[in-house]
Structure formats: C-alpha cells, structure tokens
C-alpha cells in the first residue's frame, strides 16, 4: 500500500499540516496584503512580512526572512520521510542496476526540486498576485515562468515515477498537489486537487494494489488532505491579509474623518470671530482717518474682546482634542512597562468617571509610570483605577527597593522637605489634583516598594 503523504490534523492546520504549509507559515503571514496574502505596508508602501508568533519564538525575533525560509524548508522537508520506502527500494530492493540508478536519480531530482520550491512558492505566489492587481510591473513576470517550470518538473517526475515504479512512489503526487494548491490562481486549486486525486486513483488502478483494496482509500485520502490543508493555509493567509487591509483602510478613513471634524470645528469657532475682527478693524481704521479716536478706541476694545473669546474657545477645543481616556493611558503605560521587562497588573473602573477627573488621573498614571521606569528598579508594577460612590482613586505601585515615608505631596515646591523627591513632576500633579479637589500621596507599599496614590472626591466643595 502506498505510504501516506504529508498530512497532520490539529486545531491550527496552517502550522505544518502539509509540506507547503510549513513553508508558508515560516515565511510569515502577510499584513496589509492582497487577495493571496501579498504584503503591503499600512500606507501602501513596499511589501513587508510579519512572522507568526510561534515561528518568532523558534527562530528568534531578530532573524531575517532568510532564516524563516530555511526553517520552512526544514518543516516541509520533514514530510519527505514518507518517501523513505521508495528510497529503500532504490537502495535495498531487488531491482536491476540500471533501474536503481534511474530511480535514485529521479528521487534526488524530485526531492531537490521540492525543497527548493518550498522556499520560493509563497513569495512567488504573493508577487504574482501583486502583478495581477497591478502593484508590480509586468516585466517582473520572469518569476512566473520559473515557477511554472518547477511545477512542471515536479509533476513530470511524480507521474513518471508513479507509472514506472508504482507502489510507494505514488506518494510523490501528494507533494506535487500541495505545491499546486499554493501556486495556482483562483479558482483552480480545488479543481486541481480533485483532479490529482482522481488521476492518482487511476494510476493505482493501472498499477494494481497487490490485493490491498484499502490502498485506494488511503492514497486518495492522503492526496485530498495534503492539497486541501495546504489550500486552507493559503486561504487563511489571504483572508488575514484582506482583514489587515480593511483595518488599515478603516484607520485611514478615521484619520480623514477626524481631520474633517477638526476643520469644521475650527471653521465654526474662528470663521465668525475672524470676520468680526476684520470688519471692526477696518471700521476702526476709517474712524482714525476721520479723527474720531473715541469711536475707534471703542471698536478696538470690541476687537480685543472678540479675540479673547475666540482664543478661549480654541483652547477649550484643543483641550478636548488632547483628552485621553484613562483606559488608553493605562494600556499605553502597561505596554511601556512590559517593554522594560516588568510584570504588570492593571485594573480599570467598571463605570465611567467624570471627564475632568479622567484627564487628571491619566496624568497621574503617566507620571507614575515614568517614575517607575526611571527610578524604581522594580520587577513588578500595578496600575489600578478604582471608582467608589464618593471618590475615584488611581494607584501606581511597584516592588522596587526604594523606601519612602508616607506623605501628602504639597502643591508648593518650597514646602517639600529636602530629599523628599517631590520634584516638579509630582508638584505639577498635586496642582492638577488640587484643581478638582483631589490629593496626591506617596508612601511605602504593604510588601515594600513605593505607592503613588491620587484620590479625587466625587462630591466635594472643590468639585461643586
């Protein structure tokens, strides 16, 4: 009975379910790619690739794409173990010498063509799709001719050895099917897979099964699984690329929409005010030409009032643009801490908090994170924002070696005790908190380290 070609079951078939699957994942799943997974940058620049996390863990994040392709060839080459019975016939079989030489030569040619094709089939598929979409010049199609030559060589050798030697050599058709599933244009891969399975069954019928009728099932099953699992891995890459491309397009549209909103806000705020300023300035100029200084001064005063109102409104709008949700600030701070190899635990309130309190606490989290990164020498940090019925508390706690006495940070820099560490950053936070009726405390944690805690009452005279 023919050996079972490369197949593997599992929840993630794209991570090595077939020989070509191993190559495709090793070269990296595309981001911002075309329909076949051809990679493009988020802004439509040069192609780029993103590795799967499991590949990065094995070959290292700093390795280049060549290492990934070599790893893919290794993964795909593992499945050549299914050709071991054919190799055994060449080495230890009772064939004549000429048949051994011919079989060994064809086996070497097939294995070499298969392994080298593993390296180039995925990038060649992406490049071909980019040319078909008009993203690459047509003169680069020389890669297509090379791939067609490789595919033709694999098919010729597979069919020739299957007809000539039969038995275990029929497994070569499964390897060729996996390559076809990745290389062919849509909608041909499924048709080619089924056609290869039918052709393989016909060859087996011609060669015979030595009385083992189950060979028909296992050979057809192996060819179908090898082809469709490779095709599924390819489709996964294509769909992931489409999803990334849609996300990037949505991000660009969001930027355009935000720019339009800012433009409308500025026009609504400044258009009328600047028009009034221009008209009144011209009127004041004419009054001065008529020596009517009193009325000209009155117009200038009105111009000054309009300008101040416009400036105040612009500052209010800009403050709104600068506002950053506390959830975003905690997420950004946690990412910065993790990049410095700290273990991070975070907690956010279940219910929304007032915008002015949220703005101030965002500054507390940011400043506390900066101090942890610069001074603490900690290995773990906790970022917690908790909302109660009467107050909101933001805490930045670390387990560093520093030990400080508990104190309330003063809003007056001159009131800070020498060596207390209440620099301009903490004093500035205390001033912001004082504006919303809150306080800032600095002290030791229960298990050591330092705790920065900001508390803002939700009902107080400072917020009435």
Q: How far is CA 199 from CA 109, 162, 180, 261, 400, in A?
A: 22, 11, 14, 62, 69
Query: Which pLDDT score is estimated for 140?
Result: 54
- Residue 448 CB contacts under 8 Å (≥ 6 apart), including other chains: 399, 401, 403
Query: Which pLDDT score is estimated for 18?
Result: 37
Query: Which pLDDT score is estimated for 459?
Result: 67
* DSSP for 107-159, written as a single string: HHHHHHHHHHHHHHHHHHHHHHHHHHTTSS-GGGGHHHHHHHHHHHHHHHHHH
Residue owning tokens 């009328």: 272
Per-residue pLDDT of the chain (464 residues; tens, 9 = 90+): 444 444 333 333 333 333 343 333 333 333 333 333 333 333 333 333 444 443 343 334 444 445 545 555 666 667 777 788 888 888 887 788 888 888 889 888 988 888 888 888 877 787 787 777 776 666 555 677 888 888 889 889 988 888 888 777 888 888 888 888 888 888 888 888 888 888 888 887 777 666 566 777 777 787 888 888 888 888 888 888 888 888 888 888 988 888 887 788 777 777 878 888 888 888 888 888 888 888 888 888 888 888 888 888 777 777 666 667 888 889 888 888 888 888 999 999 888 888 888 888 988 998 888 888 887 678 899 999 999 888 999 999 998 886 677 888 876 655 554 444 555 678 888 888 888 889 999 888 887 888 999 999 986 444 44
Q: Does domain 326-463 have CATH number 2.40.30.10?
A: no
Tokens, residue 80: 């050549």
Contact present, 25 and 72 (Cβ < 8 Å): yes
Topology agreement, domain 258-322 and domain 326-463: no
395: which strand partners?
384, 453
Query: Which pLDDT score is estimated for 280?
Result: 84
Tokens, residue 162: 């299957």
Question: Where do the domains of the chain lie?
Answer: 13-251, 258-322, 326-463
Q: Phi first, then psi: what are they for 171, rounded to 5°?
A: -65, -25
Kindly report the CATH number that applies to the domain delimited by 258-322. 1.20.5
Contact present, 299 and 282 (Cβ < 8 Å): no
Query: Which pLDDT score is estimated for 168?
Result: 78
Query: Which pLDDT score is estimated for 394?
Result: 93
Residue 123 CA to residue 140 CA, distance in Å, equals: 13
């Amino acid at each position: 009975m023919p050996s079972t070609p490369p197949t593997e079951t599992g929840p993630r078939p794209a991570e090595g379910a077939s020989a070509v699957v191993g190559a495709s994942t090793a070269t990296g799943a595309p981001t911002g790619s075309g329909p076949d997974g051809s990679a493009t940058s988020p802004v439509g620049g040069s192609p780029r690739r993103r590795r799967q996390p499991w590949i990065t863990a094995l070959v290292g994040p700093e390795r280049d794409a060549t290492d990934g392709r070599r790893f893919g060839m290794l993964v795909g080459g593992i499945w050549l173990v299914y050709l071991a019975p054919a190799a055994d016939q060449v080495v230890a079989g009772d064939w004549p010498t000429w048949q051994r030489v011919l079989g060994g030569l064809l086996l070497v040619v097939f294995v070499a063509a298969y392994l080298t094709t593993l390296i180039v089939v995925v990038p060649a598929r992406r490049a071909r799709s980019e040319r078909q979409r008009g993203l690459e010049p047509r003169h680069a199609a020389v890669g297509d001719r090379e791939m067609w030559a490789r595919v033709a060589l694999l098919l010729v050798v597979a069919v020739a050895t299957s007809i000539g030697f039969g038995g275990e050599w029929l497994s070569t058709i499964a390897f060729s099917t996996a390559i076809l599933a990745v290389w062919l244009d849509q909608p041909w891969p499924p048709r080619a897979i089924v056609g290869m399975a039918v052709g393989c069954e016909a060859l087996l019928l011609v060669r015979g099964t030595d009385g083992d009728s189950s060979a028909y099932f296992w050979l057809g099953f192996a060819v179908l699984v090898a082809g469709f699992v490779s095709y599924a891995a390819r489709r996964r890459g294509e769909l992931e690329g489409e999803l990334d491309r849609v996300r990037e397009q949505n991000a660009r549209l969001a930027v355009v929409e935000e720019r339009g909103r800012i433009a409308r806000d500025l026009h609504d705020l400044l258009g009328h005010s600047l028009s009034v300023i221009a008209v009144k300035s011209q009127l004041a100029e004419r009054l001065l030409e008529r020596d009517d200084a009193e009325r000209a001064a009155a117009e200038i005063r009105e111009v000054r009032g309009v300008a101040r109102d416009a400036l105040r409104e612009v500052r209010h709008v800009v403050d709104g643009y600068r506002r950053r949700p506390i959830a975003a600030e905690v997420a950004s701070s946690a990412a910065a801490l993790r990049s410095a190899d700290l273990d991070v635990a975070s907690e956010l309130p279940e219910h929304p908090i007032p915008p002015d309190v949220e703005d101030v606490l965002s500054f507390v989290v940011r400043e506390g994170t900066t101090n942890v990164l610069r001074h603490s020498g900690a290995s773990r940090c906790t970022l917690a924002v908790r909302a109660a019925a009467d107050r909101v508390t933001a805490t930045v706690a670390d387990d560093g070696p520093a030990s400080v006495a508990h104190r309330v940070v003063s809003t007056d820099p001159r009131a800070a005790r020498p060596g207390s560490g209440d620099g301009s950053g903490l004093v500035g936070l205390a001033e912001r908190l004082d504006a919303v009726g809150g306080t800032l405390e600095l002290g030791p944690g229960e298990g050591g380290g330092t705790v920065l805690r900001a508390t803002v009452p939700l009902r107080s005279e400072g917020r009435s």
